[in-house]
Amino acid sequence: MNPRHAAVRAISSDSSLAAPRERSASRARLPELFGSLVFNDHAQRARLPKAVYSALRRTIDAGEALDPRIADAVANAMKDWAIEHGATHFTHWFQPMTGLTAQKHDSFLQQTSDGRAILEFSGRELIKGEPDASSFPSGGIRVTFEARGYTAWDPTSPAFLRRSAHGATLCIPTAFASWTGEALDMKTPLLRSCEAISKVAVRLLHLLGERDVEKVHVTCGPEQEYFLIERQFFALRPDLVATGRTLFGAKPPKGQELEDHYFGAISQRVLAFMMDLENELWQLGIPIKTRHNEVAPSQFELAPIFEQVTVAADHNMLTMEVLKDVAERHGLTCLLAEKPFAGVNGSGKHNNYSLADDQGNNLLEPGNTPHDNLKFMVFLSAIVRAVDLHQDLLRASVATAGNDHRLGANEAPPAIVSIFVGAQLEDVILSLVEGRAPKSSASGKELRLGVNTLPPLPRDQSDRNRTSPFAFTGNKFEFRAVGSSQSIAWPNTILNTIVAESVDWMAAEIERRGGAGDRREVIQALVREVFTKHKRILFSGDNYSQEWVQEAERRGLQNLRDTPSALAKLDSPANAELFARFEVFSARELQARSNVVNQAYSHRISVEALSMRDIAQTLVLPAAFQAQRRVADSIQSVLAVNPQADVRGQKEHLAQITDALNRLRSALGDLVKSRHQAEEHKGGVSDVARAFREDAVPAMARVREAADTLEALVDDDLWPLPKYRELLFLH
């Protein structure tokens, strides 16, 4: 039997897959479960000497420098706690510029002179690790002979245990830097950008009269979309294995047109997976709150309760890892790629973003009368200004090969950056700009559904606009262009930096314009000026429409359609100055980032091209040859019986196969050549990326078109790759 058919049979007959077995151990209740694998505040308070605990909390909560003398005590308590939970090893857990996480495990083992084992973990081991950095991307910062890299304990993100059936490992979140002190990871710049924004936001709040605030936090809740497919199918798709997305696949008869998946009843199989997943994430202290079916078939979403952005970023990395692990246990594969399937929706990560002061007040809470809420209006205008001035950076922060298939593809926000604030806020802003009173506010009105037994609903202050890349949703902004597989550290680092620049500028203007007298007037005038100048970035229409593309061009907004264009000016002198001023990246570090993201793009396309070539040559073409022979045999057999028989049908079918086959061969030739030329390109990293974009990507589209045509012509029993109708609809 064809392996694909064997997989279909196995999946449809294996009842253990369809009805997952009951958990043997009774499920612990959520309050006991939550955070049980985290060395969190609760565990720290219970296990650390009081003075050590207080010193540690001062670092975590108030950002004070870590006192290295407490490290031994913390390490010891952490070790005892971990061992009680079955740990034998510890690892510094860090996030190199691959966009993934990295770890190197060490056991707590020490030998005594009489040959026994004792378990040790010192403050030095907690604070500093020294993985060989030479095999991580550095963007040119580090040459191979300077291989040293350091990981440094990040006490603001709690240590946790990763458990498997055979043991547990204590994971210590760390930052990762070269021996010259330059950041080699995603976390260090994020931490730096949080410090930058806190400093300037506190300064602005003091100018607004809020003198008690000492620290401002960035809050973030990333909604995560993903696909689940049968593991047996995954193994039969070399493209999914090598690249995480399908490079081939004809459109199935049914896609998402019927809109029958979104928010639909969750199947037993998937629900079992989700419950297991949540169970594990809750133990890791990750506050997963929602689960539902997404728009595309086999697509799902989860969302956590928001947290401080540095913790949210760690938690999202862990969430992606656990998603994959748990799926595997359930005979499934979790696909995090932005566009695993052509023709149905892709996956994103809605990055909900706000600022909160150290009393927990959300600085983007408009209240009932936003026009009277000066603090809200100041921060809102600062963000509007930041997004308008730095559209290019925001766009660059989501530029990846995978996201290119999604952005602007009629389902996800376009590559043009704009802001949606909703009708009420837009009126408040425009009334300010035009110097008139705001129209009667929409708040307080009730929504009546025309059925007496249904309760009246309080109406939200604004409708939603799902098409906007950057939308104000009540009391936070939602950056929707982030890709589903991306680390959120990078887009949030950029958001923090551009918002910090804007807040800093506003504070400086307020100081410059009016020392004495009523600051409110000065501030109001400034807010009005900022909105007047930057209102072109506001758009509440349909971001998917062609009219918006033209309108945006008239407004002078940028439309950076693909990754190489979006990255072209990332390390421009102006951006280098911006990041250096807020101490997020030195010019060299920024250039290294730019190199890494450009190279990542080229590598990805290169791997996709090779995978495509292999699949086309060794799976698709042989199936097409066999199909040709069957038709040719049929023609001969029929003519042998009756030389006058009408074999036009067979001949036409054969001609169609032959035509698609020839197109496939010729497109493959182009692909191999363009990939080779891009690889051999003598220009800089961005020229190489551009070469891949301009030649290899279109050649891949031609290869795919011809192969997908063959899929629709070749006998089903000859076709080796699981088809979309199976990948997306069989569970």
Specify the stretch interacting with Mg ion by CB under 5 A; choose among 67-75, 283-291, 342-350, 522-530. Answer: 342-350
221 sits near ligand ADP (criterion: CB under 6 A): yes
476 sits near ligand ADP (criterion: CB under 6 A): yes
CA separation for the pair 416, 375 (Å, rounded)? 29
The listed partner (Mg ion, ligand ADP, none) that binds 306, CB under 5 to 8 Å by sort, is ligand ADP
CB of residue 352 to Mg ion, shortest distance in Å: 7
303 sits near ligand ADP (criterion: CB under 6 A): yes
219 sits near ligand ADP (criterion: CB under 6 A): yes
Question: Judged by CB, which is closer to ligand ADP: 192, or 476?
Answer: 476
3-class DSSP state of 411: coil
The site for ligand ADP, by CB under 6 A, has a size of 15
Site string for ligand ADP, 422-461 (x = CB under 6 A): ----------------------------------------
Question: Judged by CB, which is closer to Mg ion: 248, or 470?
Answer: 470
CA separation for the pair 498, 579 (Å, rounded)? 9
Specify the stretch interacting with ligand ADP by CB under 6 A; choose among 217-225, 341-349, 635-643, 645-653. Answer: 217-225
Q: Would you say 481 and 413 are in contact if contact means Cβ atoms under 8 Å apart?
A: yes
The listed partner (ligand ADP, Mg ion, none) that binds 476, CB under 5 to 8 Å by sort, is ligand ADP
The listed partner (ligand ADP, Mg ion, none) that binds 30, CB under 5 to 8 Å by sort, is none
DSSP 442-477: STT-EE--S-TTSPPEEPPSS---TT-SEEE-SSSE
C-alpha closest to that of 60 among 194, 182, 183, 176: 194
Q: Would you say 339 and 405 are in contact if contact means Cβ atoms under 8 Å apart?
A: yes
CA separation for the pair 465, 422 (Å, rounded)? 8
CB neighbours (10 Å) of residue 39? 24
366 sits near ligand ADP (criterion: CB under 6 A): no
Question: Judged by CB, which is closer to ligand ADP: 165, or 447?
Answer: 447
CB of residue 219 to ligand ADP, shortest distance in Å: 4
Q: Would you say 96 and 184 are in contact if contact means Cβ atoms under 8 Å apart?
A: yes
Burial 260-294 (b: 16+ CB within 10 A, else e): ebeeeebeebbebbbbbbbbbbbbbbbbbeebebb
DSSP 523-556: HHHHHHHHHHHHGGGB--S-TTSHHHHHHHHHTT
308 sits near ligand ADP (criterion: CB under 6 A): no
362 sits near ligand ADP (criterion: CB under 6 A): yes
306 sits near ligand ADP (criterion: CB under 6 A): yes
CB of residue 299 to ligand ADP, shortest distance in Å: 17
354 sits near ligand ADP (criterion: CB under 6 A): yes
C-alpha closest to that of 713 among 658, 664, 670, 673: 658
The listed partner (ligand ADP, Mg ion, none) that binds 39, CB under 5 to 8 Å by sort, is none
CB of residue 659 to ligand ADP, shortest distance in Å: 48
Task: Mention every residue, 6+ apart, whose C-beta is less than 8 A from residue 266.
Answer: 274, 291, 292, 293
Specify the stretch interacting with ligand ADP by CB under 6 A; choose among 115-123, 156-164, 219-227, 374-382. Answer: 219-227
Burial 50-85 (b: 16+ CB within 10 A, else e): eebbebbbeebeebeebeeebbbbbbbbbbebbeee
Amino acid at 92: H
207-226 residues in contact with Mg ion (CB under 5 A) are: none
Query: Contact residues for ligand ADP (CB under 6 A)?
Result: 219-221, 223, 303-306, 352-354, 362, 473, 475-476
Query: Contact residues for Mg ion (CB under 5 A)?
Result: 350
